């Protein structure tokens, strides 16, 4: 065969192989796509952190970080989120082994820990608002609320997603589509814990010093 | 540490690697909190310890929970993550530097 024919038949072979490759690996491709989304979310949080860093000393006539942060409280919040990450790791191990009950139970545990985290955060911000220390009081408080609440909204969206996945697994079991979705949720959930490390370090710990 | 890969492309650790990650994370959380709350060292030392603990804990999370390593399955995840870190660095350092300079140089003279 001439090289031209060879190249042509290669192209044909590659076309059908290509769609077959996509079909077989759609899970991998979707998870990588979700990872790219998470990277853009990282940049979003980075801009919020940059804004906070610029405005942290703009306390106007309001309180500074030292006045309003309760570190014991934040430590408890942090450990709740950390434990929720671990329970989700056990969900992933359950998927690997095909243990549907393990997946459901530990999805529920993850939800409970995450809900505890959000409840504590709502309590903290409600008490700030009640004292008149809302996001309208000073630049510092404005950037604080924006950063922390954005993280909280992400966690809340994750909680809704967990509920949906519990229902989906109940109805359809651990099929490949649910496995892909649970993998994406795993990336999402661990990423939120990662962002929280930055939040409690830069906002609460450094703000208290 | 044993890693398994399934068809969703992300390698998953064993229970052991997740437990190691948890214990390291707890330690790296409690240390900075304790140092700030007790305030027994100098300001500079506490500052450095807090930052270093955060960086190490982030790496622990990436390695033990998100399984970002240089194996062939996760390599593009690592590449895109490093690129993101580059963009984040430019944004954060740039913002702080520029705004600090503006703050200093734009003091109005009444």
> What pLDDT does A10 receive?
54
> What pLDDT does B104 receive?
86
B37–A72 C-beta distance less than 8 A: yes
Mean pLDDT, to the nearest integer, of A170-199?
95
Mean pLDDT, to the nearest integer, of A130-155?
95
**Closest Cα in chain A to B37:** A71
Q: Does B38 touch chain A (CB under 8 A)?
A: no
pLDDT tens, residue by residue, B37-65: 988 889 899 999 999 999 999 999 998 88
B51–A27 C-beta distance less than 8 A: no
Give the span between the Cα atoms of B51 and A134, in whole angstroms.
28
**What is the C-alpha R_g of chain A?**
23
B66 vs A contacts (CB less than 8 Å): 187, 190-191, 194
pTM of the model: 0.88
pLDDT at A166 over 70: yes
Which residues have a Cβ under 8 Å from the Cβ of B90 and sit 6 or more positions away? none
State ipTM: 0.85
> What pLDDT does B39 receive?
86
pLDDT at B6 over 60: no
DSSP state of A205: I
> What pLDDT does B11 receive?
56
A180 vs B contacts (CB less than 8 Å): 8
pLDDT at A35 over 90: yes
Share of chain A above pLDDT 70, in %: 93
- Among B33, B79, B106, the strongest candidate for a mutation testing the A interface, having the largest count of A CBs within 10 A, is B33
A9 pLDDT tier (thresholds 50, 70, 90): low
The CB density around residue A33, as the number of other CB atoms within 10 Å, is: 11
B10 pLDDT tier (thresholds 50, 70, 90): low
The CB density around residue A60, as the number of other CB atoms within 10 Å, is: 11
B96: helix, strand or coil: helix
Q: Does B81 touch chain A (CB under 8 A)?
A: yes
């Amino acid at each position: 065969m001439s090289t031209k024919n060879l190249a042509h038949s290669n192209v044909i072979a590659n076309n059908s192989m290509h769609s077959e490759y996509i079909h077989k690996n759609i899970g991998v491709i979707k998870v990588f796509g979700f990872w790219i989304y998470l990277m853009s979310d990282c940049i979003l949080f980075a801009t919020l952190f940059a804004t906070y860093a610029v405005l942290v000393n703009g306390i106007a006539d309001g309180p500074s970080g030292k006045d309003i942060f309760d570190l014991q409280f934040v430590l408890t919040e942090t450990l709740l989120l950390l434990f929720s990450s671990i329970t989700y790791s056990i969900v992933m191990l359950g998927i690997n082994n095909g243990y549907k009950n393990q997946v459901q139970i530990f999805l529920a545990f993850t939800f409970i820990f995450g809900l505890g985290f959000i409840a504590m955060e709502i309590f903290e911000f409600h008490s700030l608002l009640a004292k008149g220390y809302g996001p309208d009081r000073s630049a510092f408080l404005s950037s604080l609320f924006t950063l922390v609440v954005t993280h909280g909204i992400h966690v809340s969206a994750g909680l809704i997603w967990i509920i949906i996945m519990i229902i989906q697994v109940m109805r359809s079991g651990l099929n490949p589509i649910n496995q892909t979705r649970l993998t994406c949720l795993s990336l999402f959930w661990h990423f939120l814990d990662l962002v929280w490390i930055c939040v409690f370090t830069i906002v609460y710990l450094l703000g208290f010093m | 540490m044993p890693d398994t890969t399934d068809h969703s492309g992300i390698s998953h650790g064993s229970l052991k690697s997740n437990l190691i990650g948890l214990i390291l994370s707890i330690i790296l959380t409690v240390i900075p909190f304790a140092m700030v709350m007790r305030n027994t060292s100098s300001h500079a030392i506490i500052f450095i310890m807090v930052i270093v603990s955060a960086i190490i804990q982030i790496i622990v999370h990436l390695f033990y929970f998100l399984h970002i390593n240089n194996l062939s399955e996760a390599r593009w995840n690592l590449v895109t993550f490093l690129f993101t870190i580059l963009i984040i660095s430019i944004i954060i350092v740039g913002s702080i530097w520029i705004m600090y300079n503006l703050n200093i140089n734009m003091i109005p003279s009444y």
